[in-house]
Chain A
């Protein structure tokens, strides 16, 4: 069997709440128990709660496989790029450096690269990947194009990415808002406390160390710049 070709993986970072259900569920997989193949990071926790989940994007022409000197990374007929094959992998780390999405990881102790294989043990028998099954915000979604279009009218799936001169087409889609949001996301509480909102959050650097008199004056002019204590 193979992954049904009408089912696709969609990532919507706008929905992510950073809960790590995906990470915890991924590490339950029998093929890599104890290790998660998903990367879930804060973008910049001091200034936002925003998090981004990264699974393997399963490129049409996988850069990781192209740069592998041992030909250890295989793409199955249904388009799923597999982890390195153990007998071949020489743990050189070329793939880790080359992947534009930062997906493969080298496990030095085991001398092997491992990465997300879209839960091939599940997807190849008609189940959803574990991360997309458990994700409570459905930032990770697995289903058909028709389903995603019906469920997510505000965004559009994108699977072509430009990195310098390299154009990459992937099996996995990223959900991109159809309209740019008319206001930035909430990153600093003080912006919401202001009677006249500023479009950008006050940066930590400006607030903690006013370097120029102008900066200091700007702070003084802002009625909410001083904490109310």
Chain B
């Protein structure tokens, strides 16, 4: 029997071409829609980045919309209710939020209200949120969860290149000689990138992976560098020193296109091979091998992610990688590039248009008078009225603790799970006079809110996102918001309206917001002015910068295709004005001395083991979505504490037994997973869970002095066999 197609199930009314709602890869996917419900998915094989490929989260993401926990009304805190919350009509909730904001601002000033945003929002929403904080609320205190994600890379890119974007499309990777992956669990955190790496290897590339754990991609790599957590800057300095000694350098490139090499070379002198090996825990032979492959390659890629960025030395670590790239001269070419692998959906776009505390749209600087004037003009306000730079997301909580900030509006951020030392965060949330949370599910932080407003799922709204390669893509609406839930941008506008400050917040459609964003970004480094929804759809993505005026002549153009590859020789950019490919007035890239500093709260006699944290493939960020998707929960139901058999033997812990990890902040008890694939001096705990299973009870709130990223990836810890199972072990609990 051949050819009879089995017709077994509900057929969708239509397929909506859009993208996954989770990580920064932003895989194309088609959602099956019927009766205003997403009922399944179909691969979208034409989308060039992933060509139909998806990870398990992408496969099951369609299940979130029909979850019974989906918020369809507003809620208010109500101690008389069994859950602690009662539903209330949406417009009453908005009125209450506005009156409390008004009250707090009158009593304590505009800056007593803070806003927290997120990098899973569309660029339109992040743009509107930044404008809402500065123009409607007039508060300087806005920041976002990209603070926990890409800011170290962003700060390093700014210092070295004057622009903050991955340099090449991923398709450039195939055919390169060497790929160095520093601190990125590619297979679990950006799975689609794996195929690009494997394909490059098939064409002859050598793969170097630097990680304290043998991740799935590291298992078959050509060179595995088992770096001790928090020692990355030392490793890069040591490798560069070998390259200098062996003269594996591109002198012509260094002379012509960079400044600052001599200072870096001087710093690296102290990083002898033996000292580097001692500090990093990577054997000398492996360091030599890495330097030789990297130093003598003709083409190469270097990627890094949170593994080297989540450190109190995160910017220096990222600068260390950039120094290796610049010394090799391999950047701005078809088979050679550099980039950070962003974590969140809009990790790139969400950091460009103004929800960051020191930034205005177009990657402009809020303390630059010229930038302020331009944006104030777009927004129709007096430049003097625009607030100054605020503070980072963690400092914002310290301000809450000190009573300086009394009210908080959060969207797309679950600080109770995702911030380090989260016992402190919980205390701060309870200290707030008034807390409004916007979300589509009751996230763990929202349980501390006074009002919860029902926002939109990604598939319930339209807009753009800029994915890992710097490609702007289009999110399409598949279904309408259920019940009284509404698009997040409408909620912000409703609050502005209720506050009696509607000016600038009367958009009817995301497209209108995007049109204003195009103008606001024009002339900035992240120039989106030539991007239209239609161009994105036609080209299957547009790489920024994409100009509406020829940067050389100022003549209007409407056919600029975008900029897939940065820093090509002879390329023109509006900062260098023809002086060179990099985004500084002289057109040259900057070497920066990337100094090694030991981690804060490093392992010591009292806390002798390194604790590091990260993700698993089936969960995403703080788990608000993925802990509600059954098949993903089933795949990895609860966090385990991963340790090497040597450490386990020493501690008397067997695989599957309960083990307690303790740091200066707290303790938690999880089952042990005893595996040879982790350094014996290190334990690993994934961070997606809340409450007694939350890894961030243990992590330290030390931050990088430049980027303010928290040091999630290392702190001193001690581990013992648990005397008894934890309380939660016997309780049938919801995953949330």
A-side interface residues toward B, CB under 8 Å?
A: 1-2, 14-21, 23-25, 27-28, 30-31, 33, 45-51, 74, 76-78, 120-121, 124-125, 128, 130, 133-138, 151-154, 181, 185-190, 192-195, 197, 201-202, 204, 207-209, 225-229
**Do A207 and B646 form a contact, CB below 8 Å, given A186-B219, A187-B214, A228-B681?**
yes
The binding surface of chain B is classed by DSSP as loop
Contacts of A209 in B (CB 8 A): 649
Q: How far is the CB of A114 from chain B (nearest CB, A)?
A: 13
Q: Is the CB of A186 within 8 A of B681?
A: no
| A79 CA to B679 CA, complexed, in Å | 48
**Do A207 and B649 form a contact, CB below 8 Å, given A189-B213, A189-B214?**
yes
Q: Is the CB of A136 within 8 A of B676?
A: no
Q: Is the CB of A49 within 8 A of B1?
A: no
Q: How far is the CB of B669 from chain A (nearest CB, A)?
A: 20
| A126 CA to B515 CA, complexed, in Å | 41
Contacts of B53 in A (CB 8 A): 21, 133-136, 138
Chain B, range 282-306, C-beta contacts under 8 Å to A: 282-286
**Do A21 and B58 form a contact, CB below 8 Å, given A134-B43, A227-B647?**
yes
Chain B, range 226-247, C-beta contacts under 8 Å to A: 226
- Of the candidates B8, B283, B644, which one forms a contact with A31 in the assembled complex, judged by CB atoms under 8 Å apart? B8
**Do A17 and B191 form a contact, CB below 8 Å, given A47-B676, A48-B677, A192-B224?**
yes
Of all chain A residues, the one with the shortest Cβ separation from B221 is A186
- Of the candidates A21, A128, A152, A225, which one forms a contact with B59 in the assembled complex, judged by CB atoms under 8 Å apart? A21
B-side interface residues toward A, CB under 8 Å?
A: 1-3, 5-6, 8-9, 40-41, 43, 45, 50, 52-56, 58-60, 187-188, 191-192, 194-195, 198-199, 201-203, 212-221, 224-226, 281-286, 603, 608-609, 617-618, 631-632, 635, 644-650, 655, 674-681
The binding surface of chain A is classed by DSSP as loop
Q: How far is the CB of B204 from chain A (nearest CB, A)?
A: 9
Q: Is the CB of A185 within 8 A of B220?
A: yes
Q: Is the CB of B41 within 8 A of A21?
A: no
| A208 CA to B201 CA, complexed, in Å | 37
Q: Is the CB of A28 within 8 A of B645?
A: no
Contacts of A17 in B (CB 8 A): 187-188, 191, 194, 216-217
- Of the candidates B214, B221, B284, B603, which one forms a contact with A195 in the assembled complex, judged by CB atoms under 8 Å apart? B284
Contacts of A46 in B (CB 8 A): 645, 655, 674-676
**Do A19 and B645 form a contact, CB below 8 Å, given A46-B675, A151-B202, A152-B202?**
no
Contacts of B52 in A (CB 8 A): 128, 133-134
Q: Is the CB of B647 within 8 A of A194?
A: no
Q: Is the CB of A188 within 8 A of B676?
A: yes
Q: Is the CB of A189 within 8 A of B676?
A: yes
Q: Is the CB of B216 within 8 A of A189?
A: no
**Do A49 and B214 form a contact, CB below 8 Å, given A121-B6, A134-B54, A186-B219?**
yes
Q: Is the CB of B199 within 8 A of A188?
A: no
Contacts of A31 in B (CB 8 A): 6, 8
Of all chain B residues, the one with the shortest Cβ separation from A193 is B226
Q: List 22 A-B contacts (CB under 8 A).
A: A20-B617, A21-B55, A24-B632, A27-B631, A28-B41, A45-B675, A48-B677, A134-B58, A136-B50, A136-B194, A137-B191, A137-B195, A185-B220, A187-B677, A189-B212, A189-B677, A195-B285, A201-B676, A208-B649, A227-B644, A227-B681, A228-B680
Contacts of B45 in A (CB 8 A): 128, 133
Contacts of B8 in A (CB 8 A): 30-31
Q: Is the CB of A47 within 8 A of B3?
A: no
Contacts of A185 in B (CB 8 A): 219-220
Contacts of A30 in B (CB 8 A): 6, 8-9
- Of the candidates B59, B212, B213, B646, which one forms a contact with A25 in the assembled complex, judged by CB atoms under 8 Å apart? B59
Going nearest first, the 10 A-B pairs with the smallest beta carbon separation are A17-B187, A30-B9, A136-B191, A208-B649, A17-B216, A188-B676, A229-B608, A227-B680, A24-B56, A1-B3
Q: Is the CB of B60 within 8 A of A227?
A: no
| A208 CA to B649 CA, complexed, in Å | 5
Contacts of A78 in B (CB 8 A): 2
| A14 CA to B617 CA, complexed, in Å | 19
| A121 CA to B221 CA, complexed, in Å | 37
Contacts of B43 in A (CB 8 A): 130, 133-134
- Of the candidates A19, A152, A194, A202, which one forms a contact with B55 in the assembled complex, judged by CB atoms under 8 Å apart? A19
Q: How far is the CB of B348 from chain A (nearest CB, A)?
A: 20
Q: How far is the CB of A141 from chain B (nearest CB, A)?
A: 10
Q: How far is the CB of B652 from chain A (nearest CB, A)?
A: 10
Q: How far is the CB of A38 from chain B (nearest CB, A)?
A: 12
Of all chain A residues, the one with the shortest Cβ separation from B608 is A229
| A44 CA to B681 CA, complexed, in Å | 22
Interface-central residue, A50, A134, A181, by most chain B CB under 10 Å: A134
Contacts of B50 in A (CB 8 A): 136
- Of the candidates A51, A133, A190, A194, which one forms a contact with B676 in the assembled complex, judged by CB atoms under 8 Å apart? A190
Contacts of A120 in B (CB 8 A): 6
Q: Is the CB of A207 within 8 A of B212?
A: no
| A215 CA to B218 CA, complexed, in Å | 29
**Do A187 and B219 form a contact, CB below 8 Å, given A25-B54, A154-B202?**
yes
Q: Is the CB of A121 within 8 A of B5?
A: yes
- Of the candidates B195, B199, B224, B655, which one forms a contact with A186 in the assembled complex, judged by CB atoms under 8 Å apart? B224
Q: Is the CB of B187 within 8 A of A193?
A: no
- Of the candidates A21, A51, A76, which one forms a contact with B2 in the assembled complex, judged by CB atoms under 8 Å apart? A76
Q: Is the CB of A188 within 8 A of B195?
A: no
Q: Is the CB of A190 within 8 A of B646?
A: yes
